[in-house]
Amino acid sequence: MVSVDSEYPGTAVARMLAARKRVGDVFSNGGFDGDWKDVRRKLLWCGGLQDLPDAAPGQGYTGHSFNDFNHVDLTCMVEIAADNETDGSVERIVVGNRLGAGIRTASLPELGAGGSWSTCAIGCAAQPDPRDVAHVQFRARIAFKLVWVPADDDAVARLGRDGGVFLLVDDAGKELARGRANGDRLPALEERRANYALVKGSKYARAVDAVVARTTS
């Protein structure tokens, strides 16, 4: 197993691969369908994060993880990279963006060395390389990204009228799993639409676009 990623040296490679294995195991044994509050907990566990909705922001709070359009990149970073800060080069991210303390508090140690966080996806569609928090601030690949099927597409009528159909894709945009979520805690329709808009036209949209194309053909 390659332990260091030469292009993105902040990647905790073994932890990233373990997160993807958990995704595969869950998908093969019951999957990611069901009430969103339960599905979201599965996503956190797969990524090596605790569900800490009552922690203070910046001190391990994960109530936002996968719950909005933006915090959908499960990133596994080496320990030293957890304290990396931004210099303002990541779009719409404040200078600093100190996440190290929260990462150490929320990360599950059994997934392997390093830490995990649900980082901001803004900038992920930049070309030729993503300009999001994972790739720029942490110099790390994502273990997986959650992408909602575009809820304003006619295909949703066939995929699930609530628009709660999502895919999990890896750093190359390859589909790892998919799910159909429901319940009163499902992210708002506007958030799901904005989530797809973030990735539209990029490698991270290809798998979702293929699902929609097959459904409408």
pLDDT of residue 10 exceeding 70: yes
pLDDT in tens, 97-132: 567 789 999 999 999 999 999 999 999 999 999 999
pLDDT in tens, 59-87: 999 999 999 999 999 999 998 867 565 65
Using 50, 70 and 90 to split pLDDT, how confident is the model at 211?
A: confident
Domain boundaries, the chain: 13-216
SS (H, E, C) the chain: CCCCCCCCCCECHHHHHHHHHHHHHHHHCCCCCEEHHHHHHHHHHHHCECCCCCCCCCCCCCCCCCCCCCCCEEEEECHHHHHCCECCCCCCCCCECCCHHHHHHHECHHHCCCEEEEECCCCCCCCCCCCCHHHHHCCCCEEEEEEECCCCCCCHHHHCCCCCEEEEECCCCCEEEEEEEECCCCCCHHHHHHHHHHHCCCHHHHHHHHHHHHHHC
Single pTM value for the model: 0.90
